[in-house]
Amino acid sequence: MEKVDKSKPVLVTGATGYIASWVVKYLIDEGFTVHATVRDTSNNEKNAHLYNIGEKGPGELKLFEADLLRDGSFAEAMEGCGLVMHTASPFFIQGIKDAQKQLIDPAVNGTRNVLETASQTETVSRVVLTSSIAAIYGDAVDKFKTRNGVFTEKDWNTSSSLTHQPYSYSKTLAEREAWKIAENQDRWDLAVINPGFVMGPSLSKRTDSTSIDFMLSMVNGKFAMGVPDFYFAMVDVREVARAHVNAGLREEASGRHILVAETVNALDVADMLRDKFDKRFKIPKRKLPDFMIYLFGPLQGFGWKHLRKNLGIPYYFDNSYSKTDLGIEYWPIRQTLAEHVEQLDNDNLI
């Protein structure tokens, strides 16, 4: 018998999100019934793109209300599901006032809430968790602790804390909690997706996702003076969504999966966009000198410790397991970036 019964519905948590929306689309395209949880089923503006996906079929979409911080609130949506995709988690790295409340509690307690409900739901045989490379490394300098300077699925973030890189800390604690819960039962197994910084066209017109905000700031003049010398390990949102679906449906899929196409720095991103769009948008042309970043970074929420451990330091990931275990084929990030900007422009968001 197959591990995952494909006739059963699939639960996707945080379905309104940038990544989850693509996961929902691929599942509906493949004919699945998707139980999509959102925080507010009456918010038609936020949920409109999900209704559109559902209407196109051939699969069926059912919306449920659930909140990570409300114990048991995923039970109704999970009823009868064979597969659970847990993507919901707060993703922001700036403007954090209370990291425990804003990041750690929803990430960790939310993971516990969803996975313990999975343990109580007889039909569930697999859970796919959206973790992050943030659970693999904390700062770029951590690469010096690896064997050959390249992070793999064996690495864990040991340098983040409540006060230093709290988003990364939230993802690390949440993924550790997920493995702990998975090991305490034997009906469902866990597959984890660890994406890098996700880019590429969005299915909704929301701009409050960190990925979309970053891309907008590369073309709307926010960095007109220049960009800091930060490196990003990037990946296309569609590859990340495909990885979720394959991790859920492939019998043999297991363990953690790094999803990274390429490491690029902020000026590489600007150069690729300028090659494509030339003068159409206000794309940065130069790197800002490091001393300016040290001067003004703290005002933008980047403390000196963060700068010291990340500025100007490239870091790399081994993505080979995602290719063999999940069959992922990576597109050039240049294409991803261009298609993302085209979508933002077509939706009049720039």
Residue with the closest Cβ to ligand NAP? 17
Question: Which range, of 191-199, 296-304, 309-317, 342-350, touches ligand NAP by CB under 6 A?
Answer: 191-199
Closer of 197 and 231 to ligand NAP (Cβ): 197
| C-alpha pair distances (Å), 263 with each of 196, 231, 309, 333, 341 | 9, 7, 17, 9, 19
Of 57, 55, 54, 74, the residue nearest 66 (C-alpha) = 74
Q: Per rule CB under 6 A, is residue 157 in the interface with ligand NAP?
A: no
| C-alpha pair distances (Å), 323 with each of 117, 189, 242, 246, 320 | 31, 20, 12, 11, 5
Find the distance separating the first CA and the last CA of the chain, reported in whole Å.
Answer: 50
Adjacent-strand bridge partners of 232:
264
The count of chain residues that interact with ligand NAP, using the rule CB under 6 A, is 25
Of 299, 302, 313, 89, the residue nearest 195 (C-alpha) = 89
Question: Which range, of 89-97, 111-119, 151-159, 327-335, touches ligand NAP by CB under 6 A?
Answer: 89-97
Q: Per rule CB under 6 A, is residue 319 in the interface with ligand NAP?
A: no
Positive or negative torsion for Cα 221, 313, 166, 253: positive
Q: Per rule CB under 6 A, is residue 88 in the interface with ligand NAP?
A: yes
User: Are 303 and 99 spatial neighbours (Cβ–Cβ below 8 Å)?
Assistant: no
Q: Is 287 a catalytic residue?
A: no
Provide the minimum distance between the beta carbon of 207 and ligand NAP in the complex, in angstroms, as a whole number.
10
Task: Candidates 113, 125, 132, 322: give the one binding ligand NAP (CB under 6 A).
Answer: 132
Q: Per rule CB under 6 A, is residue 201 in the interface with ligand NAP?
A: no
Active-site option among 171, 180, 287, 323: 171
Task: Candidates 74, 91, 232, 315: give the one binding ligand NAP (CB under 6 A).
Answer: 91
Q: Per rule CB under 6 A, is residue 171 in the interface with ligand NAP?
A: yes
Q: What is the C-alpha separation between 196 and 178, in angstroms, rounded?
A: 19
CA angle at residue 44 from 38 to 47, to 5 degrees? 40
Provide the minimum distance between the beta carbon of 155 and ligand NAP in the complex, in angstroms, as a whole number.
15
Residues 44-83 that bind ligand NAP (CB under 6 A): 67-69
Q: Per rule CB under 6 A, is residue 9 in the interface with ligand NAP?
A: no
User: Are 69 and 77 spatial neighbours (Cβ–Cβ below 8 Å)?
Assistant: no
Binding site for ligand NAP (CB under 6 A): 14, 16-20, 39, 67-69, 87-91, 106, 130, 132, 171, 195, 197-198, 209-211
